[in-house]
Amino acid sequence: MKLTFLYLACLTMLLGISCNQLSGEEQRFDALMQEVIDVHDEVMPKMGEISTLIKYLDPKIDTTQVGQSHARAQQDLKDAYDFMMKWMSDFSDKFPHDPDNEKMSSEKLSSQMKLLEEEKIEVNKLKDKINSSISNAKKLLEKS
């Protein structure tokens, strides 16, 4: 009797665990989502640096050729900052937080996966824009 109960308990646990397992497509979705979030998390702390560099460039802008290069660098920083704000807003519209963690239908998962692949490309463009604008601004500030 005890052995039968033990087998039933183990079987119930195994069924419960297997029902909670994510499908392969759900696992790929979660992994891709984590990649996108990781890139965002990598560049988000640089937003403060962008703001600081914008302020440092401001007094160096004038009508000279050097002053205009500072203006372009400042605009690149502002564009990168705006790109981040727009990307975050668009991303949260496309992938709203689901506190209930409802399971998506196969069709919805497939369409969300396509969107997420596009977002991965976009967030990597964002990363490149942020990093290049910061690098360029720092080089200009070091020269002046």
Average pLDDT over residues 91-100: 84
State how far the alpha carbon of 99 is from the alpha carbons of 25, 28, 96, 103, 126, in Å. 20, 20, 9, 11, 27
Mind listing the pLDDT tens digit for each residue in 29-40?
999 999 999 999
DSSP per-residue codes, 38-101 = HHHHHHTTHHHHHHHHHHHHGGG-SSSHHHHHHHHHHHHHHHHHHHHHHHHHHHHHHS---TT-
* CA–CA separation, 144 and 133 (whole Å): 17
Report whether 46 contacts 134 (CB < 8 A): yes
pLDDT for the residue 2: 46
* CA neighbor of 53 nearest in space, from 144, 139, 134, 126: 134
Number of C-beta neighbours around residue 116 at 10 A: 18
Mind listing the pLDDT tens digit for each residue in 48-78?
999 999 999 999 999 999 999 999 999 999 9
Whole-model pTM above 0.75? yes
